[in-house]
Amino acid sequence: MSAAKPRLSVRDLLHPRSVAVFGASEDRGKFGGRILHYLASHGFPGRIVPINPRRATIAGLPCHPGIEAAGGPIDLAILAVPAGAILSSITACAAAGVGACVIVSTGFAEAGEEGARVQADLQAISRRTGMRIVGPNCMGLINTHHRLALSSSLVLDVPELPRGPIGLISQSGALMVAIFDRARDAGVGFSTCVSLGNQADVEICDILEYMIDDPATDAICMYIEGLRDGLRFQALARRARDRGKPVFAVKTGRTAAGVRAARSHTASLAGSYRAFAAVCREAGVVLMDDADAMVLAAAMRVRFGPARAGGIGVFSPSGGGAGIGVDRVTEAGLEVAVLGEATRARLRELLLPPQADNPIDLGGRLAPDVPGTAAAIMAVFAADPGVGTVFVPLTTTPRYEAASREIGEALLAAGKPFVIAVMPGGAADGVRAALRAIGCPFTDRIDDAIRILVHHAEQGRLAAPAAGAPRRPDGLPDPAALAPRLAAGALAEHEVKAILADYGIPVAREAFAADVEAAVAAARAIGFPVVLKAVARALVHKSDIGAVRLGLADEAAVRAAWAAIARALGQALPGARLEGCLVAEMVRAGDELILGLKRDDQFGPMILAGFGGTEVELDPDTALAPAPIGAEAALRLLRGLRRFPLLEGWRGRRPADLAAIVDAVVRLSWLGADAGGALAELDINPLILRAGDGRPVAVDARAATRGPGAAAAEPPPP
């Protein structure tokens, strides 16, 4: 049965005209009491409907025994009732025509099989009736511009909701309100905050799509445990980038322990973090590891726009703060600003010569500290054309509050991006209040400040709109011809290489030999020396068991190698059948690369490129991107490798043929896109760079297929 049309759009869900509160109470120690209080105290403009069978009125409002007695349309209901009683309440809401329900209750799919069955029943009600469900296992939602505080969290017990241009999507309710509170302390406000919990119905992409279109939201922050629709997320992230609306994300599941935590918290399947990171990089999402820094980075991006040309200027009231600041900037891989001579000359009028440069030590003043001194020095420093961003490790200083306010006002007047780290503890509370009063953002930790600087620079690099979908290279075969070759099951090495050759990827000259005499004849035709490799579909790492023999100089060596390979296979894999051997040219090698394809369950085919060989697992240096990609993206992928300078001719080495390597990456990525779901993975390892000309040639390859019919389930490439 097809799903019913949703009763509310996401926009209407976040701008309800009426809200029913189950378990309403005048006791603010109870969930229902706090929710009711927050709705009233923050000025929700719509109708508030308390639901409590034991009361006739609550807080001066008519109270109803059940939702069916409330009368009139109810857009939104919020429920914090035991999981065992939730189905009857949700069924009543659906029957009464409620548009959407926010379920704060826990004990559903994250709690085990019984909870998962109840959650499935909730989903069935939603699909059948069109009533939307937020949660369960969530902390509600906040829309500051609609004066909607629909949560029981104590952080909402404030005089006013901090309005701002940042949207926040979080699967964790407690983390959402913690971020909200910390951001408020730092002077950062939000447009909308939505906690989604288990995503039984309304999911991350629904809210992301709304925020991309929401004129009150200029940047989007996300805490993600698992995605329900990876390809939709990828498309929306690209859309946000192309519209110039930055997206920042923190995701659990970077480690095996994180994957387990996501599963136990919101019953989320975390998926491959590496694939998620590759998709974010391609789509312009800034991926971070700290939620507080994420919001501050978003606030900096909204206030100042993309990162500007120029380096980081470090300005501190103390030499220690300045020294730590410039070290941390340098260690983070950021450029330290070089001041112009005119700026240094002007600074020498205000500071001792050693301090009249970057970093600035405000303690090295020539004149006594009087009002305006700090502002004057900052104005000169920040105006230098070489300073793109200012970083202030704010230690204590005489006239601490007044001087800090001067520094903040001078930074705001300069108009350049800046980050302030207030380094002391409680002694600086007055400074924090002074900065907050003038609308000057700050953080309390050097680590957060460095994260913000790094990711501000990164967001500037990622924000450029895409040039369009990657162009399919000339000479590729018809994708329809690939499916039958992959549907046959396990592929032998020479069968994989035949597919690679059809896609224009250079492969070593070789021939399949079913017996030793055929191998000898093939070796004569190719020319000695040759390589002999076992063909056995059960064998993955041939060199590990001695099933590869190199440098065979004559016919006798080929015969001896054949016998040795047969013995090695029989000892390592008893019962495995030696189908034959590949006889291949002996390629004189320079560097060895690895190219690969892997189908990710959430994002489809991914292309991998990096340095390969037998040590690839011992010292991995590889990068990943969603397939297919174009030449520009392939070159960026390669430039992200630690050892990329080797390919450019590091310290007198002969440079590799980068254009040919890029072409091989692009063509392999299209093979992955054409294969769709039929190909589980494919590795070319090594892709040898010939010692003479640096051109790539595939000398070993393997693939795993997913069986008949898998390709039909894979969506087409973008």
Integer Cα distance of 514 and 395 in angstroms: 76
In 3D space, the residue among 170, 7, 35 whose CA is nearest the CA of residue 95 turns out to be 7
Give 2 or 8, the one with higher predicted confidence: 8
What was the pLDDT predicted at 267? Answer: 44
DSSP 8-state assignment for residue 718: -
What was the pLDDT predicted at 654? Answer: 87
Q: Encoding tokens for residue 680?
A: 């589980």
Integer Cα distance of 438 and 421 in angstroms: 16
Q: Encoding tokens for residue 401?
A: 């509050």
How many C-beta atoms surround the C-beta of residue 519 within 10 A? 25
Question: Residue 649: which region, alpha, beta or left (left: phi > 0; alpha: psi -120 to 50)?
Answer: left
Integer Cα distance of 293 and 441 in angstroms: 12
β-strand pairing of 190-195 with 247-251: unpaired
Where residue 115 falls among pLDDT bands split at 50, 70, 90? Answer: confident
Where residue 179 falls among pLDDT bands split at 50, 70, 90? Answer: very high
What was the pLDDT predicted at 491? Answer: 86
β-strand pairing of 311-316 with 387-394: parallel
**Residues contacting residue 386 through CB under 8 Å, at least 6 positions apart:** 310, 311, 337, 338, 339, 340, 343
- Rounded to 5 degrees, φ, ψ at 295 are -65, -40
| Residues 624 and 275: beta-carbon distance below 8 Å | yes
Token match 């789509």: residue? 283
Q: Encoding tokens for residue 424?
A: 């002391």
Where residue 716 falls among pLDDT bands split at 50, 70, 90? Answer: very low
Q: Which amino acid is at 567?
A: R
Where residue 591 falls among pLDDT bands split at 50, 70, 90? Answer: confident
- 154 pLDDT above the threshold of 50: yes
| Residues 555 and 575: beta-carbon distance below 8 Å | no
- 161 pLDDT above the threshold of 50: yes
In 3D space, the residue among 304, 182, 167, 179 whose CA is nearest the CA of residue 236 turns out to be 167
Token match 């900065």: residue? 435
Beta bridge partners of 248: 221, 286
Region 529-533 average pLDDT? 95
How many C-beta atoms surround the C-beta of residue 278 within 10 A? 22
Q: Which amino acid is at 218?
A: D
What was the pLDDT predicted at 464? Answer: 62
- 174 pLDDT above the threshold of 60: yes
**Residues contacting residue 545 through CB under 8 Å, at least 6 positions apart:** 539, 568, 569, 571, 572, 573
What was the pLDDT predicted at 110? Answer: 84
- 462 pLDDT above the threshold of 80: no
- Least confident window among 63-77, 79-93, 451-465, 516-530: 451-465
Q: Which amino acid is at 606?
A: M
How large a percentage of the chain has pLDDT more than 70? 94
- 460 pLDDT above the threshold of 90: no
Integer Cα distance of 382 and 408 in angstroms: 12
Q: Encoding tokens for residue 165?
A: 């241009």
**Sheet architecture: strand order including 47-51:** 47-51, 18-22, 76-79, 100-103, 132-134
Where residue 615 falls among pLDDT bands split at 50, 70, 90? Answer: low
Q: Buried (b) or exposed (e) across 612-624, using 16+ Cβ within 10 A?
A: bbeebeeeebbbb
Residue 181's Cβ-count burial label (10 Å; 0-12, 13-18, 19+) is middle
Per-residue pLDDT reduced to its tens digit, 231-283? 999 999 999 999 999 999 999 877 666 555 554 444 444 458 999 999 999 99
β-strand pairing of 621-626 with 47-51: unpaired
What was the pLDDT predicted at 707? Answer: 58
H helices present in 251-397, as ranges? 256-266, 273-283, 291-304, 319-331, 341-348, 373-383
Where residue 713 falls among pLDDT bands split at 50, 70, 90? Answer: very low
Give just the sign of the alpha carbon dihedral 635, 636, 637, 638: positive
**Domains defined for the chain, CATH in brackets:** 1-137 (3.40.50.720), 138-304 (3.40.50.261), 306-462 (3.40.50.261), 509-585 (3.30.1490.20), 589-713 (3.30.470.20)
Q: Buried (b) or exposed (e) across 72-102, using 16+ Cβ within 10 A?
A: eebbbbbbbbebeebeebbebbbebebbbbb
Where residue 708 falls among pLDDT bands split at 50, 70, 90? Answer: very low
Average pLDDT value for the chain: 90
Region 537-546 average pLDDT? 82
DSSP 8-state assignment for residue 139: -
Per-residue pLDDT reduced to its tens digit, 678-690? 999 999 999 999 9
Q: Which amino acid is at 268?
A: S
Question: Residue 355: which region, alpha, beta or left (left: phi > 0; alpha: psi -120 to 50)?
Answer: alpha
Q: State the number of CA atoms in the 13 A half-sphere of 175 facing the CB.
A: 24
Question: Taking the model in full, what pTM does it have?
Answer: 0.88
What was the pLDDT predicted at 715? Answer: 39
β-strand pairing of 530-535 with 580-585: antiparallel
Residue 556's Cβ-count burial label (10 Å; 0-12, 13-18, 19+) is exposed
| Residues 337 and 310: beta-carbon distance below 8 Å | yes
Region 572-594 average pLDDT? 89
Residue 712's Cβ-count burial label (10 Å; 0-12, 13-18, 19+) is exposed
Give just the sign of the alpha carbon dihedral 570, 574, 579, 582: negative
| Residues 673 and 473: beta-carbon distance below 8 Å | no
- Rounded to 5 degrees, φ, ψ at 131 are -75, 125
Give 254 or 435, the one with higher predicted confidence: 435
Token match 């659990």: residue? 252
Q: Which amino acid is at 382?
A: A
Cα–Cα distance list, 34 to 134, 145, 155, 157 (Å): 19, 20, 11, 9
What was the pLDDT predicted at 2? Answer: 77
Q: Residue 417: is the preceding peptide bond cis (ω within 30°)?
A: no
Per-residue pLDDT reduced to its tens digit, 298-336? 999 999 988 888 999 999 999 999 999 999 999 999 999
What was the pLDDT predicted at 626? Answer: 95
Q: Which amino acid is at 435?
A: L
Where residue 72 falls among pLDDT bands split at 50, 70, 90? Answer: confident
Give 588 or 509, the one with higher predicted confidence: 509
- Least confident window among 108-112, 238-242, 453-457: 108-112
What distance, in Å, lies between the first and last C-alpha atoms of the chain?
A: 30
Q: Encoding tokens for residue 332?
A: 């983070």
H helices present in 130-227, as ranges? 173-185, 204-213
Integer Cα distance of 558 and 546 in angstroms: 14
